[in-house]
Structures are given as structure tokens and as C-alpha cells.
Amino acid sequence: MSVPYSMEIDPDKARELAERGGTLLLLGVPAGTAVGIDHQMFLSGPKFCGVKMVPPGPHMLTYYSVASSPGGFSAPNVRWLYLSTSQVTVLRWNGEVELLDELTDEDEAGRYAQGVRRFDFDAGLAPYNLPAWPVWQEIAGRVTSDLIERIMPMCGTASVVAEAQLAEDTAAEVQLEEQLRARSASGEDGGPSTSSPVVSAAAMERLGRCRYTPIPIKVARPGMTPAEITAANLDRSAALERLVREGYGGEEGALLGEFQMAFANFVVGHSLAGYAQWKDTLHLLCTSSQAANGPSADVLASFARILRKQLQVSLTPGSKTSQGEGMLDATPFGVPMVEELLSASFLRPLLSDWFEDLDGCVTLPQALRSEATKLRDLLASRLGLEFGISCLEEDEDDEYAPVVVDM
């Protein structure tokens, strides 16, 4: 849960921000429901009816519905929105399924929007924490309206509960879920617990899972020779280029935007599918060393910056940093990621090999070298991890290990 904040704004300035900013009008939300926008969280009271002064751009709405049985609790529900200047989005609480629904009557929605513009609901609208907006831009700034429409389920609301119904968890996801349960039970992350969520059958029909783009992990196509398969899996630069071309229509920014969505869905929405997509994308980018000297070098530089910002807001509070940006203490961001950086995790050896590859590039572009250095310095100052040389022996059971085919 986010840190309490207060805003001192001149009345005229506040009115201007309310008129120009977007508004999320939430009707009928029961008191005591946790409602979040981006990485800010509100505990709704009897007068709460949404958030005002919302900057234009991508936003993530999460809410933890009231438990439907004694001792029960609910899993996070997630909606992504892309608001334009002065846009009013109206959602109404559906008590039967404990979900927020869009208004089907356009005239009714229009009347509520006019009421917002007349400031009829102003007393119940919480102001968006504008000083925290730059942090969210770093976390989700690549997310577009087209990407939201393509990735989010057709029903509009994603939930880890729907993920559990549609697919079996991998061993890594099972371990991650156990960590989430333990942390939620102890109250460390300030969010809802995800173990044994109480969800009605009617609500289950209204929940879905994100439709992420499949990421190639093992590269093997018909007609490839053993040597070609080995080479393609030692360096996945060709697979990265093919994914951008065929999976994202040539838009490299969409790959980074989906990487951002997956991360936010994981740390805020406790999505195991989001974790898997984030992990697979990270692995693909870190094993595309030839791309560092090609047209995709800028993508790798942007990736390094995005990953650094993700880790800055999700490493365990209290870690020391030499970056001086103060992002962590100002904005606790859901699930701490320290477990993912321990010696037994995938991330430490993966980044170690990636830094080695980059160190071996004589003509490494300056932007990529700069961002990779900042990322390496962050990991050293926060966690005491020194990268640049191999720090782990190969794991024979690693599902992401390069594929070597005997001749």
C-alpha cells in the first residue's frame, strides 16, 4: 500500500488541474474496499467516489473487493485505462459479482461526466498524487491504448484467479505464489493475500487473463541444422528481430510496453502470468548479445533503463543506493523483488552473463553502455552484487539454458 500523502494547492490551481486532468468516477464502491490507481492506494470511505486530476496517459486500476464470506479475502482485480485530457471514465460497483462495470447507457454516462465537470462529485474525489506521476511514467510510459486493447482480456478485468483456472503453474510460479502468500499473511506488502481467494461463480465468468505475446525461449524451426539450432539458442538476436517483426508489427516500443505491463501486473496485481511474461521477455533481451551492435541497440538501452527503474521501485525498502533518486523510499511498490536476485534465482546468472557479453563488445553504443552501467551500479549498491564476470556454475536443470545439439 502506498505511503499517505497530502497536497497543498492553490484553489485556482486545483480547479485548473481538475478541469484539465482526467477523472475516474467510481460509483457505489463499498466502504473499506481498497482501490488503487497506478502505485497509489486508497481505502474507500462512505463518501469516496473516485480519483481526480489524473494525468493523461496509461493507468492501472486495481481493487480488492469485500470478502464474501467470514474469514475470506479477495484477489486483486485489474483494469488498464488510457485517459486523455479532461476525460471522465465512469464505472459502477456491481454488488452481485463485486466488480466495477462500465455503464452501458451512454446517455447516463454522459450525465455523470457532466456532473463531474460541474464539480458535483468533487468532495468525494481523491486527488491523484501528482508528485508520484514521474515514477509511474518510468514504470508504464511505453504502454499505449492499442497495447491495452490487445493485451487485456475481452471482459476488461484481469485476475490471478482466472489465471489459476486456465493453466497449471510452473514450479517457479508455485514458489512465487508461496512467497506472496507468506508475505501477505505477515502483512509485509500491505496488499491483499492471494491464497484461497473467495470468488463467486458469477464473478469468475467476468474475469479473464491477459493475452500476452508468446516469447520464444527455445529456438528450433523446421529445416534448421543442429549447428544452426545451437547458434540460434546461444544468441537469440535473430529471434528478437523476428518477434518484433511478426509479433509486434515492427514496433519495438510495443515489446517494451508489454514488458512494462507484465511487470506492473505482477507486482501490483500479483499476476503469475505477468511474472512469467516479464521473466521470458527479460531472458530474450539479455540473450540477444549481437543486437547490441545492431539496429536494436536502442531497444536494449531502453530495456536496461526500464529494468533499472523497475528494480528501484521494488527492491526491499531500506536498501542503500548511490543513485540519489529517492524513488524507493518515496514509493513502496508492491512485492519486494529481493528473492529474485538471490544466488539461486534466474536473474543473477542471467544478468551476469549479459554484463559479460556487453563488456566484450568493443563498439558498444554509448547509450547502452551508460544504462547498463547504471543498472549494474544499482545492483551493487542496493544488494552488494558485483557483476561483470560469471558468478554461478551452469545449472543443468535450467529451462532457459542454451540448446546445444550434437552433430
Q: Are residues 114 and 229 in the same domain?
A: no
Put residue 324 in one of left, alpha, beta given phi > 0 → left and psi -120 to 50 → alpha: left
Q: Are residues 117 and 178 in the same domain?
A: no
Whole-angstrom Cα distance, residue 332 to residue 191?
12
Q: Are residues 312 and 206 in the same domain?
A: yes
Q: Are residues 173 and 308 in the same domain?
A: yes
Range of the domain at 260: 166-383
Q: Would you state the pLDDT for residue 9?
A: 67
Q: How confident is the model at residue 336 (pLDDT cuts 50, 70, 90)?
A: low
Q: Would you state the pLDDT for residue 281?
A: 96
Q: How confident is the model at residue 388 (pLDDT cuts 50, 70, 90)?
A: low
Whole-angstrom Cα distance, residue 260 to residue 140?
6
Give 84-136 pLDDT, tens digit per residue: 999 999 999 998 888 999 999 999 999 999 999 999 999 999 999 998 899 99
Per mean pLDDT, which range of 21-30, 133-142, 233-242 is the poorest?
Answer: 233-242
Q: How many domains does the chain have?
A: 2
Q: Are residues 38 and 103 in the same domain?
A: yes
Q: Are residues 126 and 196 in the same domain?
A: no
Please indicate whether residue 354 or residue 196 has the higher confidence score (pLDDT).
354
Q: Are residues 226 and 368 in the same domain?
A: yes
Q: Would you state the pLDDT for residue 147?
A: 97
Of 348, 344, 254, 362, give the one whose Cα is nearest residue 302.
254
Q: Are residues 124 and 176 in the same domain?
A: no
pLDDT greater than 60 at residue 176 = no
Is 403 part of any domain?
Answer: no
Contact assessment for residue 52 and residue 127, using Cβ atoms and an 8 Å cutoff = yes
Is 392 part of any domain?
Answer: no
Whole-angstrom Cα distance, residue 176 to residue 174?
5
Is 389 part of any domain?
Answer: no
Is 391 part of any domain?
Answer: no
Q: Are residues 304 and 181 in the same domain?
A: yes
Adjacency order of strands within the sheet including 57-64? 40-43, 34-37, 57-64, 77-83, 158-159
Total number of residues shown for the chain: 407
Q: Would you state the pLDDT for residue 319?
A: 44
Q: Are residues 104 and 238 in the same domain?
A: no
Q: Are residues 191 and 290 in the same domain?
A: yes
Contact assessment for residue 63 and residue 76, using Cβ atoms and an 8 Å cutoff = yes
Q: Are residues 127 and 171 in the same domain?
A: no
Q: Return the CATH number at 363.
A: 1.25.40.550
